[in-house]
Amino acid sequence: MREGGQVLVTGGAGYIGSHLCEALLGQGYQVRVLDNLSSGRREFLAACEGNENFELVVRDLLKDSFGDALTGCDAVFHLAANQDIRKALTDPRVDLEQNVEVTHLLLEAMRRSEVTSLIFTSTSTVYGEAAVVPTPEDYSPMEPISIYGASKLACEALISSYCHTFGFKAVTFRFANVVGGRSTHGVAYDFVQKLRQNTRELEILGKEPGTRKSYYHIDDCISGLLAGWKAGSDPYEVFNIGSEDQITVEEVADTVCSSMGLEGVEYGWTGGVDEGRGWIGDVRNMWLDISRLKATGWRPQHRSREAVKLAVKDLSSPSSPEE
Ligand SMILES: NC(=O)c1ccc[n+]([C@@H]2O[C@H](COP(=O)([O-])OP(=O)(O)OC[C@H]3O[C@@H](n4cnc5c(N)ncnc54)[C@H](O)[C@@H]3O)[C@@H](O)[C@H]2O)c1
């Protein structure tokens, strides 16, 4: 990729996308964002707007054509997606449309525009309830337990096939749970919002002590994305990305409470479903083997607890949303 090249970020007005845009601009890239602002927010891009190398194009990738948005692009970071895992419980089509169909439309637009470099944000949920934890990238069988996980796995398969059929070069990142400022979903965000409303009681989905998962900080996510992108080898590479440990939901709650200076908060467990899942499709045990990405020289700077602690601090900053 040439110095100061042009990069397109789909979903760039979202939580992770907006941090990525700031980092790319900081490294001298020209950044164009395509986002329909469904869950993304214009104000997340406050630090980018005004930069002459930055452009936000409001567009719905499912309905609108890409037009000339890919013209001159050297690489595409594809983050736009429905990331709400629970939505499919009432509307299973949403993941197929927003994730699989949008990814296919993007791949076709890239093929027509002869843009062949793609970075894709996938998820730990493609593994389903893996029998090997920490789970390596070559774990099988891939057996997602949510429609969201299935849709992301389908996207990965499409991207791989475009690499081998049309000469694309792509890097897929399978994310553990990313916590930090501007998040608009996820357990840490949920707890902060609930505790702002009620400092004495906290409703927790699931059964004590809850699922065990790996959490990592948004800064580690962005540095890992950039490290893996630059190291990815032809034609298709997959990296897990996360932290080096996992914690229970109860530990997340304890960390959020103590970071907010709250003592004696009473936890009200909902009981969840299926022996402790928070909801149908919620993976009980997630921790990714990140040695492949670490081999590029990247290291996560924070473990799960510390990442959650930092996220609570980030979420109190004025640039983070309140419900
Ligand atoms: N946050 C996490 O912990 C996590 C974990 C695993 C994977 N991911 C993946 O990372 C990516 C970014 O997630 P996020 O947490 O920042 O979520 P987010 O909802 O903040 O970002 C998604 C962005 O895509 C935009 N978007 C959605 N549908 C669109 C469409 N049809 N056209 C144009 N724009 C559209 C939204 O407005 C939003 O700005 C997603 O692909 C998600 O699946 C996130």
Same domain? 64 vs 163 = yes
Same domain, 71 and 168: yes
Tokens 């736009």 locate to 80
- Looking at the domain assignment, is residue 41 inside a domain? yes
Give the residue, by CA position, lying nearest to ligand 1 atom 1.
Answer: 178
**Which atom of ligand 1 lies at the shortest distance from residue 37's CA?**
37
- CATH number of residue 279's parent domain: 3.90.25.10
Give me the DSSP letters along 149-181. Answer: HHHHHHHHHHHHHHHHHH--EEEEEEE-EEE-T
- Cα(97) to centroid of ligand 1, in Å? 14
Structure tokens at 21: 């845009």
CATH classification of the domain holding 34: 3.40.50.720
The answer to whether residue 27 sits within a structural domain is: yes
Does the residue 288 lie in any domain?
no
Residue 73 lies in a domain: yes
- Two structure tokens written together for 17: 């996308």
pLDDT band at 41 (very low <50, low <70, confident <90, very high): very high
Question: What is the mean predicted confidence (pLDDT) over 93-98?
Answer: 97
Of 223, 241, 259, at which residue does a domain stop?
A: 241
Confidence of residue 183 (pLDDT cuts 50, 70, 90): very high
Give 113-142 pLDDT, tens digit per residue: 999 999 999 999 999 999 999 999 999 999
Cα 283 to Cα 212: distance, rounded to the nearest angstrom:
9
CA–CA distance, 241 with 227 (Å, rounded to integer): 11
Distances (CA, A) of 27 to 7, 15, 55, 109: 12, 19, 16, 26
The pLDDT value recorded for residue 233 is 79
| 61 and 209, same domain (yes or no) | no
Task: Let me know how many helices (H) and strands (E) the chain has, helices first.
Answer: 9, 13
pLDDT for residue 276 is more than 90: no
Domain count, the chain: 2
Q: Are residues 73 and 195 in the same domain?
A: no
Residues 261 and 226 in one domain: no
Mutation to probe ligand 1, out of 32, 83, 185 (largest number of atoms < 8 A from CB): 83
pLDDT band at 316 (very low <50, low <70, confident <90, very high): confident
User: Is the pLDDT confidence value at 46 over 80?
Assistant: yes
C-alpha distances in Å from residue 178, one per residue of 12, 26, 307: 16, 21, 9
- Distance linking the first and last C-alpha atoms of the chain: 39
Place of tokens 């939580």: 15
Rounded to whole angstroms, how far apart are CA atoms 323 and 319?
13
Q: Given this model, what pLDDT does residue 56 score?
A: 97
Residues annotated as part of the active site: 148
**Residue with the two structure tokens 């990965």:** 156
Q: What is the DSSP string of 60-112?
A: -TTTS--TTTTTT-SEEEE--S---GGGGGT-THHHIIIIIIHHHHHHHHHHH
| β partners of residue 253 | none
**Of 225, 241, 257, which one is at a domain's C-terminal end?**
241
* Alpha-carbon span 58 to 170, nearest angstrom: 25
The reply to whether 296 falls in a domain is no
Among 144, 151, 299, 101, which residue's Cα sits nearest to residue 219?
Answer: 299
Q: What is the pLDDT of residue 67?
A: 87
Q: Is 196 a member of any domain? A: yes
- Do residues 310 and 202 both lie within one domain? yes
Using one digit for the tens of pLDDT, what is the confidence trace for 282-315?
999 999 999 999 999 999 999 999 999 999 999 9
63 & 155 share domain: yes
Judgement on whether residues 150 and 111 belong to the same structural domain of the protein: yes
Show the domain range for 259: 183-214+246-283+303-315
Token representation of residue 157: 């398969």
pLDDT at 105 over 70: yes
Instruction: Say if 84 falls within a structural domain.
Output: yes
- Note whether 167 and 266 are same-domain residues: no
- pLDDT of amino acid 318: 58
pLDDT band at 274 (very low <50, low <70, confident <90, very high): confident
Same domain, 132 and 221: yes
For the chain, how big is the Rg over CA atoms in Å? 19
**What pLDDT sits at residue 319?**
59
CA of 39 to the centre of ligand 1 (A): 8
Assess whether the C-beta atom of 13 lies below 6 angstroms from ligand 1.
yes
d(CA 26, CA 31): 10
Q: Judge whether 40 lies within some domain.
A: yes
Same-domain pairing of 152 and 58: yes
Task: Say how many CA atoms lie within 13 Å of 131 toward its Cβ.
Answer: 5
Q: How far is the CA of 260 from the centre of ligand 1 (A)?
A: 27
Q: Sorting pLDDT into bands at 50, 70 and 90, what band is 3?
A: low
pLDDT digits (tens, 9 = 90+) for 194-247: 999 999 999 999 999 999 999 999 999 999 999 999 997 779 999 999 999 999
267 three-state secondary structure: strand
Residues 117 and 152 in one domain: yes
